[in-house]
């Protein structure tokens, strides 16, 4: 029911073409997962999301725990039925919120006590609770509870986070009981190669169905990120999927694929879409710019998305300046489709041994900046 296999490899890098089989369908990797934090990709219906080519989406344990609650989701048929998405789903554990909501929590070896950002109520999250929530939600792939240290951060604090992550990982492994869900362990260690390797080796001793790389895209440079990944992925098992958490710039994805990463997630496609920025192979368009006022071109010639098939840049600019909600929706649809087009082309080039040519077909993957 759940399996992962590597089907081809790029001869000039560690990039690989794979297939992750789940109870809700197969995912061809490398793959990008749109983020549906509270069970919805912002402004996009499940049908529209499927039309972008998305194979799998991500939902957030912490936010769904706060509202409506895992018990409510389970009572309403589980997460897939609840949100109307019958393709695969991955849930993160809430561990990232230990980092992103640091001013609202207290961390100990037992777990984390949050002050809810919704209503101020005291909320506890620990490995066993995180597993119970994810079991009730019923995603195809779930994630072990971890601690994500910031960057920069004193080494002693990173070491403490690694040890806590490993302790929590073992507790998650022991608490996990659903055979129809794969559990991923999370590799922490900041920018320290030895701590990353230590964390990975001990997670493999515990034994997980896949391995996520956390604690990146939290303050380090692009080159620092790639250096860490290049040093880490050779120490992760080839037969297990690898997931880079929260990373989504096109250049980051391309370089990370070359190190051997299989799965990605990020809010960038929809966040940029809501703010009048459109991704294209050449770079990012600012739709509020006056140069688009009389432009009858689509956002990107050759794009198959609903937006590019039907609307001009001039119309989209008008929607944003008029503060019509359709503008963010249409631009988000295009951005999500752009990411799936990029990933599909990467998958096509890996077995052909021509991955490097993506830099000519999608120059944005080589750009130092978005613009």
Active site (catalytic) residues? 92, 265
Residue bearing tokens 């806590």: 164
DSSP letter for each residue of 244-287: ETT---HHHHHHHHHHT--EEEESHHHHHHHTTEEEETTEEEET
List Cα–Cα distances, 262 to 15, 25, 125, 170, 272, in angstroms: 8, 17, 28, 24, 23
> 281 is written with which tokens?
């192979």
**Spatial separation of the C-alpha atoms in residues 215 and 150, rounded to whole Å:** 7
Beta-bridge partner residues of 49: none
| Contact predicate 118/127, CB 8 Å | no
Compute the C-alpha angle 144/148/154, nearest 5°. 145
**β-sheet bridge partners, residue 125:** 112
Separation in Å, CA 316 to CA 9, 204, 289, 297: 40, 49, 11, 11
Work out the angle between the directed axes of helices 155-175 and 127-137 (0-180°, nearest 10).
Answer: 50
Give me the half-sphere count of Cα atoms (radius 13 Å) on the Cβ side of residue 188: 28
- Please list, in sequence order, all residues whose beta carbon lies within 8 angstroms of the beta carbon of residue 69, skipping any fewer than 6 positions away: none
- Whether cis (ω within 30° of 0) applies to the bond prior to 68 is yes
Cα-flanking dihedrals φ and ψ of residue 155, to 5°?
Answer: -55, -40
Whose tokens are 């081809």? That residue is 8
């Amino acid at each position: 029911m759940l399996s992962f296999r590597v089907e081809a490899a790029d001869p000039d890098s560690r990039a690989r073409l794979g297939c992750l089989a789940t109870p809700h369908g197969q995912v061809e990797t490398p793959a990008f997962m749109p983020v549906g934090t509270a069970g919805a990709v912002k402004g996009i219906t499940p049908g529209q999301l499927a039309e972008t080519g998305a194979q799998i989406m991500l939902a957030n344990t912490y936010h769904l725990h706060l509202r409506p609650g895992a018990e409510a989701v389970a009572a309403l048929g589980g997460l897939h039925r609840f949100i109307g998405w019958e393709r695969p789903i991955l849930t993160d554990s809430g561990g990232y919120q230990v980092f992103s909501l640091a001013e609202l929590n207290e961390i100990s070896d037992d777990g984390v006590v949050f002050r809810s950002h919704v209503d101020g109520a005291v909320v506890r999250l620990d490995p066993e609770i995180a597993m119970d929530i994810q079991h009730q939600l019923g995603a195809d792939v779930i994630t072990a509870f971890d601690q994500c240290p910031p960057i920069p951060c004193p080494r002693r604090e990173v070491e403490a986070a690694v040890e806590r992550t490993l302790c929590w990982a073992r507790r998650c492994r022991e608490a996990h009981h659903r055979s129809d869900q794969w559990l991923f362990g999370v590799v922490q260690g900041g920018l320290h190669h030895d701590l990353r390797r230590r964390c990975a080796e001990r997670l493999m001793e515990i034994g997980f169905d896949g391995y996520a790389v956390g604690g990146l895209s939290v303050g380090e440079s692009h080159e620092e990120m790639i250096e860490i990944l290049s040093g880490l992925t050779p120490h992760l098992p080839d037969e297990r999927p690898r997931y880079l958490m929260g990373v989504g710039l096109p250049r980051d994805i391309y370089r990370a694929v070359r190190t051997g990463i299989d799965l990605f997630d990020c809010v960038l496609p929809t966040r940029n879409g809501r703010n009048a920025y459109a991704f294209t192979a050449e770079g990012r368009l600012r739709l509020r710019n006056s140069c688009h006022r009389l432009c009858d071109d689509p956002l990107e010639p050759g794009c198959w998305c609903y937006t590019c098939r039907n609307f001009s840049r001039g119309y989209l600019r008008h929607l944003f300046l008029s503060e019509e909600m359709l503008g963010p929706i249409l631009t988000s649809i295009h951005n999500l489709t752009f990411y799936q087009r990029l990933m599909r082309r990467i998958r096509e080039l890996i077995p052909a041994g021509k991955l490097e040519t993506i830099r000519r077909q999608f120059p944005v993957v080589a750009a130092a900046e978005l613009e």
